[in-house]
Amino acid sequence: MKKVLIIAGFDPSGGAGVLLDIKVVRALNGYAASVVTSLTVQDTQRVYDLKPIDPHFFEYQLQKVVEDIKPDSVKIGLLGSSEIAVVLLRNLKKYSLKNIVCDPVLKSTSGFEFCKSEFVEFLKYDFFKACDVITPNKNEAELIFDVEIKNFDEDVLSCVQERMKRMGIKSCILKGGHLDGELAEDVLITQNEIYRVSAIKKGLPDEIHGTGCAFSSAFATFLAKGYNMYDALKQTKDFMIGLINASVKIGNGRLVLNP
Ligand SMILES: Nc1ncnc2c1ncn2[C@@H]1O[C@H](COP(=O)(O)OP(=O)(O)OP(=O)(O)O)[C@@H](O)[C@H]1O
Ligand SMILES: Cc1ncc(COP(=O)(O)O)c(N)n1
């Protein structure tokens, strides 16, 4: 069985973060281990607060789990503090971890700011280089690549590719769930290729919670199974369509996924 290490935050409502990630890995027949970066107060309506885990305790957990379990891939979600990001970066390098998928969770869909601006700079110029692929949504990609994204036209994608090269980012999947239009399109951009996948959009914009978390943990599971990035993206997209079609209302806010 392939082992996926989830490094992410805790959402007690289960709509996002490690609770969702673990269910996704399990639904795809993987084994999920998890090191939590931060606790949040949130429900299906919004995020109210965040408390990062002590970075030394985080590192202690991370090292014990990595040395024992030797993961086949790593999914990184909400980091919670720049101290945790620094510790994590050191350990990604120390253990030469492979198949590292980073979902750059900078701001919640409900508007909670997870990262201060100097932390974003550290992620952009130091952290993302150490990952195999980053999976920003529209807003995150605009911030990371300093470009306005209204659609995935060729000139926007070439601009992102050129900036990725300059920043040393190996691969990026731009997620298009928040773009206008009938299609939910995602684009994998590597140093020399651009590859698109799309599906018919379901429901209203921002009606479903946790799609970004589920996407990156599914993608990390397919990489752990040995799929290349293109096939992993196709498989992830199919899996996401099934999850979104089966989304459920469990509270007063957005629908959640229930893998
Ligand atoms: N309404 C939808 N219908 C179909 N697919 C969708 C829809 N919304 C998002 N997706 C797909 O779900 C995946 C996650 O994309 P999205 O752009 O929503 O990420 P995100 O903004 O990080 O997620 P979140 O809203 O949880 O923060 C992508 O494959 C995207 O195309
Ligand atoms: C612990 C945790 N991780 C990630 C998200 C982002 O998800 P969303 O953008 O759907 O709020 C979140 N709200 N909470």
Mean pLDDT in residue range 35-41: 98
CATH number at residue 121: 3.40.1190.20
Q: Is the pLDDT of residue 233 over 70?
A: yes
Q: Is the pLDDT of residue 187 over 90?
A: yes
Give the number of whichever ligand sits closest to the CA of residue 212: 1
Task: Decide: 236 and 215 in contact? Cβ < 8 Å.
Answer: yes
186 lines ligand 1 (CB under 6 A): yes
Report CA(192)–ligand 2 centroid distance (Å).
31
213 lines ligand 2 (CB under 6 A): yes
- Residues 222-231 pLDDT 10s: 999 999 999 9
| Distance between CA atoms of residues 124 and 249, nearest Å | 35
Confidence of residue 116 (pLDDT cuts 50, 70, 90): confident
| Distance between CA atoms of residues 27 and 46, nearest Å | 26
pTM of the model: 0.97
| Distance between CA atoms of residues 207 and 212, nearest Å | 13
| Distance between CA atoms of residues 218 and 6, nearest Å | 11
Q: Whose CA is nearest to atom 12 of ligand 2?
A: 16
Q: Measure Cα distances from 141 to 92, 96, 223, 242 in Å.
A: 23, 26, 22, 25
Q: Which domain holds residue 194?
A: 2-256
40 lines ligand 2 (CB under 6 A): yes
140 lines ligand 2 (CB under 6 A): no
104 lines ligand 2 (CB under 6 A): no
Report CA(17)–ligand 2 centroid distance (Å).
6
CA dihedral 105, 107, 113, 117 (to 10 degrees): 70
CB atoms within 10 A of CB 206: 12
55 lines ligand 2 (CB under 6 A): no
Atom of ligand 1 nearest to the CA of 136: 22
Q: Specify the 3-state DSSP secondary structure of 114.
A: coil
- What per-residue confidence (pLDDT) applies to 110? 80
Please name the residues in contact with 4: beta carbons below 8 A apart, sequence gap of 6 or more: 25, 30, 31, 32, 33, 71, 72, 73, 74, 75, 217, 220, 221, 224
209 lines ligand 2 (CB under 6 A): yes
Regarding an ipTM greater than 0.90, the answer is: yes
Count of the separate structural domains present in the chain:
1
| Distance between CA atoms of residues 227 and 236, nearest Å | 11
- Residues 128-183 pLDDT 10s: 999 999 999 999 999 999 999 999 999 999 999 999 999 999 999 999 998 999 99
| Distance between CA atoms of residues 163 and 211, nearest Å | 26
Mutate which of 34, 109, 244 for ligand 2? The one with the most ligand atoms within 8 Å of its CB, which is 109
Confidence of residue 111 (pLDDT cuts 50, 70, 90): confident
Please name the residues in contact with 69: beta carbons below 8 A apart, sequence gap of 6 or more: 3, 5, 33
Q: Which residues of 242-252 are buried (b: 16+ CB within 10 A; e: fewer)?
A: ebbeebeebee
Atom of ligand 1 nearest to the CA of 108: 27
- What per-residue confidence (pLDDT) applies to 212? 97
Average pLDDT, the chain: 96
184 lines ligand 2 (CB under 6 A): no
Atom of ligand 1 nearest to the CA of 103: 22
